[in-house]
Chain A
Amino acid sequence: MSEKVRLENVSKSFGKVSVLHDVSFSVKDGTLLTILGASGGGKTTLLRLIAGFDAVDSGSINMNGREVSSESMSLPPEKRNVGFVPQDSALFPHLSVSKNIAYGLSHLKSGARDVKVLELLDLIGMGDQRDSLPDTLSGGQRQRVAIARALAPNPDVILLDEPFAALDAQLRSKLREDVRAILRAASATAILVTHDQEEALSIADQVAILRDGTVAQIGSPRSIYSQPVDVSLAKFLGDAVVIPGVVTAGKVSTQLGDLIPSVAQPEGTKGQVAIRPENLYLQPDPKGLAVVTGRQFFGHDALVEVKTAAGPVKARTSGPISPEVGMPVTVWVRGSVNFYPAD
């Protein structure tokens, strides 16, 4: 698979504030990269640099092997062949659904244009609303049209800026799946920025984590979740119990017992282990040294707070059989753990 987009050491400041520095990554043809980061962390700036609304201060952006932005030049957005889907969908209010989709197809003859529009209407399942005006559509429908409009001119890459943020939770997960399917069906290459981890992990082929204006880790959703490169990333992505430990006889000795490190470590190294709540197992035990102090019940599962020798920890248990508050338990750790040597 060839690379569609490549960023090399991209930096951008506004005035004296450095927003992005040395951002590098690439996106392969037909894949979806999500960029996950906290609000105000430069995610939107990154998209705007790729789209061409702003120019990079240093570094370069390549698309399809062609340089579109560097220190010395910046191709205007209309010359870049990117698709853009903003948070509020930004449909042209005076144009119908099909005219919105046809907007970027003015180079085609009207016959070919109609065929393409019909194809996209079909893809987003909105053939019935082709003549509707944007203000008669629901939020989800608007986003679909915005995606079809962005896909119409066959862009090299389609950029989605928090496309589900304005929708309510239920609609969000449904639309997320639909969008994934639409992008796959169109074999589109896409970059989606979001601050929602669940969103980032569930639809991506690759996830890049943007922290303090630079890429902290990039990889498949699975590796990002199970092997965060440092403690703070482990805490950033979902809950994690972090406790100190020392490597003794190939295992990490902690107050929760001797744990197996995911990667072999030299003897005597001091550091921290990060354990996901679902890797903790609570065994009801009248002689247990730990005691349940609280419980958040979610139905299918529950998050149980336990006071242990290592301090308070949270464990995810099956909902119906989760232990009651006040119950003494023994805490076990399942599987291997990520060990981070102290500096």
Chain B
Amino acid sequence: MVAFGVFVSVLPLFYILLRTAQIGIDELLGNLLRARTWELIYNSLSLTLVVCLTAMTVGTAQAWLSFRSDLGFRRLFQIVAILPLAMPSYVLAYAWLSVRSEINGFVGSWLVLSISTTPYVFLAVSAAFNRHSGAGEEVARTLGRSQMSVARTITWPAIRSAVFGSGLLVALYTLSDFGAVSLMRYDTFTRAIYNAYRASFDRNSAAALALVLVLLTVILIRIVSRFSSLQAVKSAGQYRAMQTKLGNWKIPAYIFLVSWFAVGVLVPILSIFYWTVVGQSQSNLGEITRAFLNTISYGFVGGLTVAFVGLAVAILAVRYQSKYSIKVERLILITHALPGVVVALSFVFLVNQSVPSLYQTSALVLLAYLALFLPNAVAVLKVPISQVPTGIEEVSRTLGSSQIQTLRRVVIPAAAPGILSATAFVGLTVIKELPATLILRPTGIETLATRLWSATSVSAFSAAAPYALLLILVAGIPALFVNREIRATQNRSNLVTAVSNDVSVSEVR
């Protein structure tokens, strides 16, 4: 099972390397050294940069205001800040396009991706504030430092690695996003790869572009992994941190938080409701029901498949840690570096060359889900498994159960609640997936995500609305709850790693 998971996970990267080797260096360079490639690099990187800066600034400000200031309704603002996580980027893109279709291209992508990624920064920086007690700030104040000086010398160093670490994750997210940029018609690598494939089934240029994108992502991932090890700071005990008095700045702070909420949540949601109501008379209930059922089945079967293999890997990683198990985990993570579009296209080309009968089957869609989400599943499944004390396994062995029997009778049942939430989480992630489903689904099978995407692509806003609404209700909001539950099962000291894991692995897709 583990071997199967690893096999599926390394397939896409294997394909890209194989393809690159087949193309030959001349043609590869010919494909890459075109003005078009430089344009894509420029587009992708400039978008990544501004989204990063926006998310880092807004997320940090949100975290500071809602944890360390004397603003009212702080708890409310804390919840509001993570609500955008309930909307996949392409749903947000649809929502804003349906408000004003002039907001597209660079500006539209910037707006939508900033909204989508700010919660990751907010979560990471909040966690940093929580584990940093604030006692240092108070001591510094008693030593005669001003508020500004304390912020610069004590607070900033404490949250710095969280800000930059999450900023890099935002960059990763932006680089690999397909849904938002494609709907906003902004040419980044992911959109160009998809179009190259769609327009001409031009494997070579798609593969060459994918190679550049993969290189960019790999560089980012390397930097990210350096940062996440920096974040492992011990948690400070319970301590009520001193709150900064905002004084006259309170009004601007409220205006800032409320308007970000309006832009990120309120306007998109209202627009989706508006178009749902407006288009009610023409909406095709049969079509919606079919898409809904397809989505649920993909989510259910996909979630179970990925969680099943993930459980095997998680048990191996937690309980039988060895050089071998660490390698397995690394191998699985490789695919995580690949944007969904690239993974999906690799599968298309690979099965066409080797097992054409798999092409356009739901089985292939499931394989792609496995490659895409296995790392997420392993990350969330490791938590409940590692919480089962090893002592009870030893006792079980002395009572006559073998290793395998002990797994079945003790470890898995004891971890069952956590395994269930993790499975649900993976299923919900599958439901929100767009590019792989779009590219690999059998002809005629539509899901909520693909319907929303196609309708929005032709500016059929009222036809798209019910799908957006359903996606938020069926996947987005439940995912927020399940995610909360997964985190709640971890104790305080684990929370820190949980949140950073969370941000790094389980959510960025």
8 Å CB contacts to A: which residues of B383-436?
389, 391-392, 394-402, 409-410, 413-414, 416
A80 and B398 contact, CB distance less than 8 A: yes
CB within 8 Å of B: which A236-273 residues: none
Indicate whether A109 reaches chain B with its CB closer than 8 angstroms: no
Residue among A78, A150, A159 making CB contact with B397, cutoff 8 Å? A78
Q: Which residues of A contact B399 (CB under 8 A)?
A: 78, 83, 103-104, 149-150, 152-153
Out of B389, B397, B410, which one reaches A77, CB within 8 Å?
A: B397
**A82 at the binding interface (Cβ < 8 Å):** yes
Contact present for A90 and B392 (CB under 8 Å): yes
Task: In the complex, identify which listed stretch (A91-99, A167-175, A181-189) lies at the interface while the others stay far away.
Answer: A91-99
Q: Which of B389, B396, B401 contacts A88 (CB 8 A)?
A: B389
Contacts of B409 in A (CB 8 A): 103
B391 with A77: CB separation less than 8 A:
no
Chain A residue at smallest Cβ distance from B398 = A84
Interface membership of A335, Cβ < 8 A: no
Nearest A-chain residue to B389, judged by Cβ: A90
A155: chain B residues within 8 A (beta carbon): 398
Q: CA separation between A153 and B409, bound complex, in Å?
A: 17
How close is A315's CB to chain B, nearest CB, in angstroms?
44
Please measure, in the bound complex, the distance between the C-alpha atom of A10 and the C-alpha atom of B308, giving whole angstroms: 43
Q: CA separation between A282 and B453, bound complex, in Å?
A: 96
Residues in B whose Cβ lies below 8 Å from that of A146:
395
Cβ–Cβ < 8 Å partners of B394 in chain A: 51, 53, 77, 84, 86, 90
Task: State which size class the interface on B falls in.
Answer: 10 to 19
Q: Using Cβ atoms and an 8 Å threshold, which residues of chain A touch B389?
A: 88, 90
**A160: min CB distance to chain B, Å:** 12
Q: Which residues of chain A have C-beta atoms less than 8 A from B397's C-beta?
A: 52-53, 76-78
Asked if A16 CB lies within 8 Å of chain B CBs, one says: no
**Interface membership of A300, Cβ < 8 A:** no
Q: Report yes or no: B391 in contact with A78, Cβ–Cβ below 8 A.
A: no
Q: If A92-B410, A94-B413 touch, does A82 touch B392 (CB 8 Å cutoff)?
A: no
Q: Which of B391, B400, B401 contacts A90 (CB 8 A)?
A: B391
Tell me if A88 and B400 are in contact (CB < 8 A).
no
Contact between B414 and A82 (Cβ–Cβ < 8 Å)? no
In the assembled complex, which residues on chain B have CB atoms less than 8 Å from the CB atom of A104? 398-400
A51 touching B398, Cβ below 8 Å? yes
Interface set, chain A 97-124, CB cutoff 8 A to B: 103-104, 106-107
Of A77, A91, A103, chain B has the most CB atoms within 10 Å of the CB of A77
Alpha-carbon distance A217/B402, docked complex (angstroms):
36
> Which A positions have Cβ atoms within 8 angstroms of B?
51-53, 76-78, 80-84, 86, 88, 90-95, 103-104, 106-107, 146, 149-150, 152-153, 155, 159
Complex A-B: 10 CB contacts under 8 Å = A52-B397, A53-B394, A78-B397, A84-B394, A86-B391, A90-B395, A94-B416, A107-B400, A153-B399, A153-B400
| A-B CB proximity, top 8 nearest | A104-B399, A90-B391, A77-B397, A84-B398, A90-B392, A94-B413, A86-B391, A78-B400
